[in-house]
Amino acid sequence: MSTVKVLVATAEREVYRGEAEKLVAPGAAGELGILPKHAPLLSQLQAGELRITNGENIDEVFISGGYMEVQPDMITILADSAERASDVDEAAVLEAQRVAEELVESQKGSADLAMAQAELAILSSRLDWIKKKKK
């Protein structure tokens, strides 16, 4: 089967580079499935899991949002933040969620409430992903 090159990066680092027979990404309007020679596409991504399949191997990467550019021979994902399943520290995520919950409570009635709620939603999504990976 043919493959497409995949690059997943943040502003700080390259998270994944390799080949894929299929990539599934969390698009703003639902999951996007991308195969080699896909028509050019530019899409906003929401927080969720990228599944990069090559043969029997499936690499999973959690992103907190970002953008994806698809060309027939290359998929580039620029994520706000990204981490591979093998790199997740559940204790750190739980602590960040606790801090975010406190921030949401302290920001009630404030202009910063929406930002605190958005951060809490991303952390909750990360925790759901971690729990799914542990099963």
pLDDT digits (tens, 9 = 90+) for 65-123: 999 999 999 999 999 989 887 676 666 666 766 776 776 677 666 666 677 767 767 77
What local confidence, expressed as pLDDT, does residue 135 receive? Answer: 61
pTM flag (> 0.85): no
Fold of the domain spanning 4-85: ATP Synthase; domain 1 (2.60.15)
Give the distance from CA 42 to its chain's centroid. Answer: 16
Rounded CA Rg of the chain: 16
Q: What is the pLDDT of residue 59?
A: 92
Helix axes of 113-134 and 90-106: crossing angle, nearest 10 degrees:
160
Give the CA dihedral 129, 45, 34, 36, nearest 10 degrees. -120
33-55 average pLDDT score? 94
Mean pLDDT of 37-65: 93
